[in-house]
A and B are shown apart, each in its own frame.
Chain A
Amino acid sequence: MSFEPKILGIACNWCTYTGADLAGTTRLHYPQNLRVVRVMCSSRINPSFIFRAFQLGADGVLVGGCHPGDCHYNTGNLYARRRLAVTKKILEFAGLEPERFRVEWISASEGNKFAQVVTEFTAQIKELGPQQKLKIDELLEKI
């Protein structure tokens, strides 16, 4: 069986989650590897959520927020941009493939973009193969 990655998505309620809904409403098909957590704003995303997602076995993590300047909370995504950029640098220096972590600004009207990003990202993660580095296995193996 071919490798089907698990991709964790974290989407802001106002733009990307709504954009994802729009992709559905317009019946745009994309791979089913993404599982989305809805948060109110991309700025809610604690860097440790990203580390944890990889520990839980996510092969890729996709964060979606409003375009800079369009944040429902004015400036949330501007903070998120900096904080997630640092998160990515940390993952990269630790030796994880930085491509496994992606941040995209997807507005509520960009159902197309959502479907396209998920399709692209899923293909990219398939290419990269399973993420084994941060994934927790010790606890599981011994049970």
Chain B
Amino acid sequence: MFDFSIVTKWFHSLLTGVMPEWAAIGIECFIVLLFIILLYAILAIALIYGERKICAFFQCRIGPNRVGKWGLLQVFADVFKMLTKEIIKMRQSDRFLHDMAPYFMLLASFLTFACIPWNKGLAILDFNIGVFFFIAVSGIGIVGILLAGWSSRSKYPMIGAMRSGAQLVSYELSIGMTMLTVILLNGTMQFSEIVQQQADFGWNIIRGHVPAIIAFIIYLIAGNAECNRGPFDLPEAESELTAGYHTEYSGMHFGFFYLAEYLNLFICGAMAATIFLGGWAPIYFPGWEGFNHVMSLIPGFIWFFAKAFFVVFLLMWIRWTFPRLRIDQLLSLEWKYLMPISMLNILLMALVVCFGLTL
């Protein structure tokens, strides 16, 4: 597997050769920022297009097909439109907080986005408490939603924000627990290390067998809830709260919420791919040397994207199948089912690791 850190190290030494260290780091930060923003935009557009097509197919339709070939330019048209829309300023709203809320959402998704290991040696933020950091920064998004609901000074956004508060606080627990399960298995909190171990010893979902599969399912459910996507889209619950917490947002401010929703979806998929499905590690079957060799020729980031999009497809499948839960069902699902099960699951994983029962 090609180690990307060779490139980055070479680039760093190239820069430090001609300029002081601080300037080099500054330039690198700038490049990374550009890279992140670009990737963010591309992924968002791809996901929005994908979702519209996939959802159409689930609904016996064909989806966008008039703007560009197969409707490929549809999302670009949407972006142009969105950029030119008026941003409404409301007299009664808390203007400062109201304008800030979408940026909180963006910030949260940017920071979590930065944690993802794309390829071997290609991760923007990679340090020894990566999992911890991931869980912490993903909580910033909820601040954005709460602010949006509060500052709009409108009743529907308020209800939506409160629902979102209850929902995210609850489901963060399950996310944390499933990640703990993985940490137990891998013995590290560093994402690159978690993936490296999977490349060496096999994917976590296979290596950890029963407890890992349970954790994976719980992660999918809780992750879906974290993204505020159906069947857990209570904070925006179109048929109940018109548009939920972003009812009063227009133009690009609404666009940020819209983008963040899809990016969070991708992050959810990418994280599942990273911690359960081996991140950039290719498929290996012990004994099939030829096959394994071919597999290892495929670059790591392609593996990574394939897995992430597979999980994203799963989430879309779930979204476009189930009805929405009610708030009390949502909470009882978490507190009565997911949390106790994931606690037991940690115990199970501990036993598995302790007695060396991993595959």
Q: Do A and B interact?
A: no
